[in-house]
Chain A
């Protein structure tokens, strides 16, 4: 069976204690994201975008409320199940790429398949195919330092796809890229979203990225201000 809503947020709250003060990074967010949707999360810095990203990705625990991924409340998962969720269900893309510097593009992309228990050769073959798909078929054995920023982000995208996740979480994926490279990355992500039916959730400032999305979630002070159709 398949869930219409791949991600559901119910009264999601995340407070931080800063000395005597309680900072409400997220203050009651309700949101439903359908399978295959492309959502942009927009808001000024400090509006709770990254906190939301971390909670949906199972990297952080909510103070109150719940995150449902495919109908499962992920705060109920133990460390093993959470690791499995991060490994198989969710692909992460970061502003600063976060590639492993000592590994080649090919090894970076195949790393998630190691945790998924894919046989070594099979993982490498898959990584090669993915790198080819993101246009880096000629750069398999280059290390991150030998690649341009745009190419590094392509490697990161290929890595995010390595275990065929249903959700891609992208935190400012074009934030460190110039205009044209950013455009190419947006096209790539958009294409993956449409062709593979991937659910794409992107926190972004980038207007071009916002324009391409199905829905835009505007955040302010830890709350959803408004939701617009793209």
Chain B
């Protein structure tokens, strides 16, 4: 850049900005005001994850029961394959829903680029939204999974078995499930976010849905 440019704008910073805080603020509004679209993603991750937590918690509760002298029941290993499939399906679902969200927001993305957004700012905005969705989906999914695990194991091991389960294991399953949900949601959004960020503003602004 030439020197004149600097001389003219001595007081102003020459870099556009978009902090994580800005992205969180904006992402929050997007989710709140387009809740229907977000709910699809949240439901998708919650269902996939609840299946996962059902298995893991059932396993924990059965082994607790066995430790207390109850019968030996275990989660079959093939059931973990089913869990893996469920999680993959929910990733695909989210990627699909996010791609549609990108198409819906073509013009908005173009507009934001006109207002000074960089490619990475667009990626950040989409990732923040998916983080939110993953977190919510994870919390809901864990709750559902815990409830169904208690019902499933209840008949064999007693419905109060959860009270005897090691608290630390339950806590780590909770932390693990929510992190897994958040991570999966963000991974699923990487491709749509990248597509959105690479949009040419001229074409994006001309786009009619």
Contact = CB atoms under 8 A, between A and B. Distances in A.
Interface of A: 1-3, 54, 57, 59-60, 70-72, 76-77, 79-81, 83-84, 86-88, 92, 94, 98-103, 107, 111-112, 114-117, 120, 159, 163
27 contacts: A1-B7, A3-B4, A57-B114, A59-B205, A70-B8, A71-B4, A72-B1, A76-B1, A79-B119, A80-B16, A81-B1, A81-B14, A86-B116, A88-B9, A92-B114, A98-B110, A99-B111, A100-B111, A102-B30, A112-B116, A114-B17, A114-B22, A115-B121, A116-B16, A117-B13, A117-B16, A120-B22
B18 A114 contact: yes
B2 A72 contact: yes
- The residue in A80, A107, A111 that gathers the most chain B C-beta atoms within 10 A of its C-beta is A111
Interface residues of B, number: 37
A111 B115 contact: yes
Contact of B17 (A103, A107, A116): A116
A115 to B, nearest CB: 4
B116 A116 contact: yes
A76 B29 CA distance: 36
Interface of B: 1-2, 4-5, 7-9, 12-18, 22, 25-26, 29-30, 33-34, 107-108, 110-119, 121, 201-202, 205
A54 B29 contact: no
A101 B13 CA distance: 29
Contacts of B29: 102-103, 107
Nearest to A169: B114
A84 B8 contact: no
B91 to A, nearest CB: 25
A1 B108 contact: no
A70 B5 CA distance: 7
A59 B108 CA distance: 15
A102 B34 contact: yes
Contact of B8 (A2, A87, A117, A163): A2
Q: Which 6 residue pairs spanning A and B have beta carbons closest together?
A: A87-B116, A115-B116, A117-B17, A102-B33, A98-B111, A112-B115
